[in-house]
Amino acid sequence: MKDSILNFEVERRIERETGLDGSGINVKTSDGVVTLSGRAASRAARRLAEKVAQRVPGIKAVTSEVEIGDEGSSDPTDEEIAQAARDAIAIEGRILSDRINVAVVRGWIYLEGVVDLKLEKVAAEAAVRGVHGARGVSNLLAVMHHAATCTLRRS
């Protein structure tokens, strides 16, 4: 497949990916190898862009030169931290991210909502722990157990 077609497809998919602001990410394709450059809001956003590019049929490899954060800014705002946390949860495959609300107050991340399993609660917290600028995490997620019950009969 032609590099120009692959390049277009990667750009299109990054643009359409839910939870990813790819406006600062540039795409260049040569011999089926994609190079991503520019800036992303978070490490999670950079990883998501890389995963999106890898899923395009015909791509042989993806290299990333994407830098994290805004150029010249030191501390991210609460809004930027919240977006980075949402991005991190969105790329974590074990979590239904639409059931988790993220709030950030003075750098502290609050996770609220309902998940089916304790695994999801733990995974959500682990996903946001590494968000740049976050001072801590309060995991307020409720776990709804759907345990099946069975009755054993003796004959």
pLDDT of residue 9: 94
Domain 78-143 sits in CATH 3.30.750.24: no
Q: What is the pLDDT of residue 71?
A: 60
> In CATH terms, are 3-68 and 78-143 the same topology?
yes
Give the pLDDT score at 146. Answer: 59
Distances 134 to 40, 109, 110, 114, 130 between C-alpha atoms, Å = 17, 7, 10, 22, 8
- CATH code of 3-68, in short, is 3.30.1340.30
Q: Which pLDDT score, from 0 to 100, does residue 42 have?
A: 81
Query: What is the pTM (predicted TM-score) of this model?
Result: 0.52
Task: Report the alpha-carbon distance of residue 139 to residue 102 in Å, rounded.
Answer: 10
Classify residue 10 by its DSSP letter. H
Domain residue limits, the chain: 3-68, 78-143
- Spans in the chain with pLDDT lower than 50: none
